[in-house]
Amino acid sequence: MTARGERLPVVLVGAGAVGAALGRAAVSAGWPLAAVVCRQAARARDRRALVGAGTPLSLTELLGSTPLPPEEARLLLLCVPDREIAPLAVRLAGRTWPPGSVALHVSGSVPVSALEPLAAAGLATGGLHPLHSFVDPERDAESLAGSVAALEGEAAALAVAREFAAVLRLQAFVLAPGTRALWHAAAAHACNHLVALVAQSLELLARAGLPEPQARAALLPLLRGTLENLAAHPPAAALTGPIARGDDAVVAGHLAALATAEPDISAAYRALAQRAFRLAVERGLADDRRLALAALLLPARPEARP
């Protein structure tokens, strides 16, 4: 194994949304694909057609007398559902892998230690989590370039993961030790909770007389504009609205109106308004505006106020 990371032929285990997209992107970037493995052979043949290279194998075929040449080291890329990773590692460790082989999983939340049986079998283990929402392998293989990939693992696994990410034109960075749960929470908070936030907003708009789908159509340009502002500026500079302007009377009106909304909506509003307030302070609020907003939004502990 070189420090740079060899282009080990990939054994793609699991060719669903992520596996098929990564496999397809790897093939079009010239990375060798040894096998496409699904639970059933027929499914493996279907998915191999989508990936574009590799020997289609059932999991049983891979674990048994495999047609893969035994002398060549491989990159096992585990793209199976999170709950399947640890049991699959146990099963995969039951066969011999050539020296220099590497196993990576692509989950954001499962610790690399789930691959321990493979490490015990002599493979270098790690994780490569692409921060991308995978739905359609053909489209995702095209749009993957530029996404960030969080890497973790022992040196030999990291070297191969870096090379794989580079070939797929992913922006790789190495997770600080023990921070995988934080990394995944951050991704879920920004992506999944944005959806929950929009659902809350839609509920308020429905009460104001604007039902779906008109309400969703009304919010989307606002959301797109906000994302574009965030693309161009850091959060403190991208913030707009009454808190950015220091308009405590408007915020007080919001809080009063939300007193009759579902409790999760008023709680989320207050929690996020507190962070918006910190951003507004960072940008520079006049003292009287800062104190008025702090009195409205912050818990009644003077030492907690900026």
Residue 130, interface with ligand NAP (CB under 6 A)? yes
Q: Return the number of the residue (13 or 172) whose C-beta is nearest ligand NAP.
A: 13
Residue 16, interface with ligand NAP (CB under 6 A)? yes
Q: Return the number of the residue (114 or 243) whose C-beta is nearest ligand NAP.
A: 114
Q: Which of 113, 181, 122 has the alpha carbon at shortest distance from 153?
A: 113
Q: Return the number of the residue (39 or 224) whose C-beta is nearest ligand NAP.
A: 39
* In contact, 36 and 51? CB cutoff 8 Å: yes
What distances in angstroms separate CA 284 from CA 242, 247, 290, one per listed residue?
14, 14, 9
Return the range that interacts with ligand NAP (CB under 6 A); candidates 11-19, 151-159, 196-204, 221-229. Answer: 11-19
Report cis status (omega within 30 of 0) of the bond before 213.
Answer: yes
Residues present in the chain in total? 306
Using CB under 6 A, which of 19, 54, 100, 242 touches ligand NAP?
A: 19
Beta bridge partners of 194: none
Using Cβ positions, the residue closest to ligand NAP within the complex turns out to be: 16
Least CB distance from residue 39 to ligand NAP, whole Å?
4
* CA–CA separation, 213 and 135 (whole Å): 23
Distance between start and end Cα atoms, the chain: 53
Residue 39, interface with ligand NAP (CB under 6 A)? yes
* CA–CA separation, 304 and 306 (whole Å): 7
* In contact, 200 and 264? CB cutoff 8 Å: yes
Least CB distance from residue 139 to ligand NAP, whole Å?
12
Which tokens go with 224?
Answer: 């797109």
# chain residues binding ligand NAP, by CB under 6 A: 25
* CA–CA separation, 78 and 67 (whole Å): 19
Residue 56, interface with ligand NAP (CB under 6 A)? no
Return the range that interacts with ligand NAP (CB under 6 A); candidates 12-20, 169-177, 262-270, 277-285. Answer: 12-20
Using CB under 6 A, which of 5, 14, 100, 117 touches ligand NAP?
A: 14
Place of tokens 């009106």: 253
Least CB distance from residue 82 to ligand NAP, whole Å?
5
* CA–CA separation, 265 and 258 (whole Å): 7
Residue 141, interface with ligand NAP (CB under 6 A)? no
* In contact, 106 and 20? CB cutoff 8 Å: no
Instruction: Look at the alpha carbons of 55, 58, 59, 64 in this order and tell me if their dihedral is positive or negative.
Output: negative
Say which DSSP state 302 is in: G
Considering only residues 65 through 124, tell me which ones interact with ligand NAP, judged by CB under 6 A. 79-82, 84, 88, 106-108
Residue 9, interface with ligand NAP (CB under 6 A)? no
Least CB distance from residue 120 to ligand NAP, whole Å?
19
Q: Return the number of the residue (10 or 268) whose C-beta is nearest ligand NAP.
A: 10
Q: Return the number of the residue (18 or 102) whose C-beta is nearest ligand NAP.
A: 18
Least CB distance from residue 78 to ligand NAP, whole Å?
8
Collapse the DSSP code of 149 into the 3-class scheme (helix H, G, I; strand E, B; otherwise coil) and give the result.
strand
Binding site for ligand NAP (CB under 6 A): 13-19, 38-39, 43, 59, 79-82, 84, 88, 106-108, 129-130, 132-134
